[in-house]
Amino acid sequence: MLIVTAKLSRRKLALWGAAAAGLLCCALLLSSAPGQPALGPETNVVSLKGIKTNEDRIRFLSAYGWQVVDEPTAVEELLVPDEFDESYQDYLSLQAEQGFDLTRLAGKRLKRYTYQIFNYPTGQQDVQVNLLIYKNTVVGGEVLSSKLDGLLHGLAMPTQ
């Protein structure tokens, strides 16, 4: 049996404890990475920043596995409301599940780029994807069907 002893003052012990706690907190913060939606176990996290051009948007969507038209079918400037009433709760929840927080953009103007999707897993043809961009950063998005009772989910490709 091996016994190791060390003589530490309370001050050194407290400093080492604080340093260990600080490293643990940093590791937890970096691993959770809020605002960076994870794609899935087999892929990496997509960078939300630096989305300046159409090519950047298409590359961003292709990282999720989506094949889209070469140009957006619609580009709209939206004003995020200063206050969100109950009608926004489901939409805010959908965005929050992906790591997006639209409430911090209250009163700001952003752009919504809409693309037609060609490779939806069920073969459905009327599926679109919206990307919400604020200052060259993706701040939200969803996949939806243009049908009245159609689908609506986050950016990740469904596993069927």
pLDDT tens for each residue of 109-122: 999 999 999 998 98
The rounded distance, in Å, linking the Cα atoms of 10 and 120 is 61
* SS3 track for the chain: CCCCCCCCCHHHHHHHHHHHHHHHHHHHHHHHCCCCCCCCCCCCCCCCECCCCHHHHHHHHHHCCCCECCCCCEEEEEECCCCCCHHHHHHHHHHHHCCCCHHHHCCCEEEEEEEEECCCCCCCCCEEEEEEEECCEEEEEEEEECCCCCCEECCCCCCC
Query: What is the reported pTM?
Result: 0.69
Q: What is the pLDDT of residues 40-77, one digit of tens each?
A: 333 445 678 888 899 999 999 999 999 999 999 999 99
First to last CA, the chain: 57
